[in-house]
Amino acid sequence: MAAEPERDSLPISDCTTVVQPHLNQLLTAVILLDEQLHIEYMNAAAEAILDGSLRRFQHQPFFSLFHFSSLDPSVVQQALQDEQSVSDSDVSLVLHDGQRITIEFIAQPLRQSDGRLTILLELRQIDQIRRINQETRQQQQLQAAQSMVRGLAHEIKNPLGGLRGAAQLLAGELDDPALREYTDLIIRQADRLSTLVDRMLGSNQIQTREPANIHALLEHVVQVARLGADLNVRWVKDYDPSLPDLTMASEQLEQVLLNLVMNACDALQESHTPEPTICLRTRIVHQQTIHGTRYRQCAVVVVQDNGPGIPAALRDTLFYPMVSGRAGGTGLGLSIAQNLVHQHAGKIEVSSEPGHTEFSVYLPYIETRVDTPLGDKQKSTSNKESRRE
């Protein structure tokens, strides 16, 4: 009886043909590249990530599929030459249609039976995982910041009230108007510090909410920003006219959006960015889960600029109070904005790299909330874990 051929002796074309049905069932994207890093094979998961078919991409250079890649092609080429595997858990890719994805990858060199060297890429998209982690981190930041600020406010406002009261009593006993200037100064400075603490706390009062057009609100924000910013900005408005009216506290959301827009203006001005551009984009997304609650519809407002990006040292603490990347900044704007968005059951997502920074504000349509047993189960599990900690 003739011996069965060894698995390694099969040509690569035969191998992919034999295992293709199984590869297409994998959630991990699998791509085979030749020595020139041209695509020989990709499974269904890879087609989904790269938004194209094998028939369309076969024999094309892999890195030509992207407008931007944080992965240097020379790294993969060197791994192929050294016959050593390489991996990276955080690779940013921008497709030619502008879609941004984040992946983790493993590149494994393979020598075929005919002596050719190929490289097998395993890609896994981690955008959803990163979004969940970012949402959890922001929630923790908000809770920690609020706890810290409440304690700080208590320690500051009580002595301030005593100082202000004492200054008022002293002013009533003074006959010399020149001396009253000093008591008036104490009172003014005490009021200023009290106002600063109130700003740190943010507004906990939920204003009256009513249906309103988010685009009208954005137009007012742009008008205010144009008058307040000493910069000739090119404004790009990419509005989705199909967005329904959103039930909201207009003044609070105007404060949020104005803060994001003015931050973008300041970043562009301080960096002297050539052709400074701010893009305002609105979209509607479906079946969005925010803080464990699912909504059938959610409005998304994006404030995008082409400035220098957010420094890496600030990204993890961006929403903490008193944290600012500008010399004259108070570090309160984003903390307050986050608090106001949370009061609307929404969230803020951030992505930043040199030349492209996006703040995405998710504002759910509360009336489309879906209460599911899964959501309750997730909340219950989260509460149990919190108690164990």
In a domain, 15, yes or no: no
Contact criterion met (CB below 8 Å) for 159 and 193: no
Checking if the pLDDT of 50 tops 60, the result is yes
- Among the candidates 100, 128, 156, a domain finishes at 128
194 and 245 part of one domain: no
Q: What is the pLDDT of residue 321?
A: 63
46 and 171 part of one domain: no
Q: What is the pLDDT of residue 388?
A: 40
Checking if the pLDDT of 289 tops 50, the result is yes
**Cα separations (Å) of 253 from 1, 94, 242, 273, 340?**
78, 30, 20, 28, 7
Give, as one character, the DSSP assignment of residue 38.
Answer: B
143 and 57 part of one domain: no
Q: How many domains are there within the chain?
A: 3
pLDDT tens, residue by residue, 224-250: 898 877 778 999 999 999 999 999 999
Give whichever of 43-47, 49-53, 216-220, 352-356 has the largest mean pLDDT: 216-220
245 and 353 part of one domain: yes
Which residues lie below 8 Å from residue 299, measured CB to CB, with a gap of 6+?
214, 243, 246, 282, 283, 284, 362, 363, 364, 365
DSSP 40-71: EEE-HHHHHHHTS-HHHHTTSBGGGGEEEESS
Contact criterion met (CB below 8 Å) for 47 and 26: no
Task: Give the HSE-up count for residue 35: Cα atoms under 13 Å, Cβ half-sphere.
Answer: 7
In a domain, 3, yes or no: no
Residue numbers of the domain that contains 96: 21-128
Average pLDDT, the chain: 80
228 and 192 part of one domain: no
CATH number, domain containing residue 74: 3.30.450.20
217 and 184 part of one domain: no
246 and 328 part of one domain: yes
Give whichever of 16-30, 88-102, 204-218, 257-271 has the largest mean pLDDT: 257-271
Position 141 confidence tier, pLDDT thresholds 50, 70, 90: low
In a domain, 240, yes or no: yes
pLDDT > 70 fraction of the chain, expressed in percent and rounded? 79
Position 275 confidence tier, pLDDT thresholds 50, 70, 90: very high
Could you tell me which residue, 336 or 74, shows the higher pLDDT?
74
Cα 274 to chain centroid, rounded: 25
Position 373 confidence tier, pLDDT thresholds 50, 70, 90: very low
In a domain, 82, yes or no: yes
Q: Is the pTM of this model over 0.95?
A: no
316 and 172 part of one domain: no
**Cα separations (Å) of 325 from 133, 134, 207, 237, 259?**
23, 20, 31, 27, 14
100 and 157 part of one domain: no
- Among the candidates 128, 160, 179, a domain finishes at 128
In a domain, 259, yes or no: yes
242 and 265 part of one domain: yes
- Distance (Å, rounded) from C-alpha 130 to C-alpha 384? 23
Give whichever of 3-12, 43-52, 96-105 has the largest mean pLDDT: 43-52
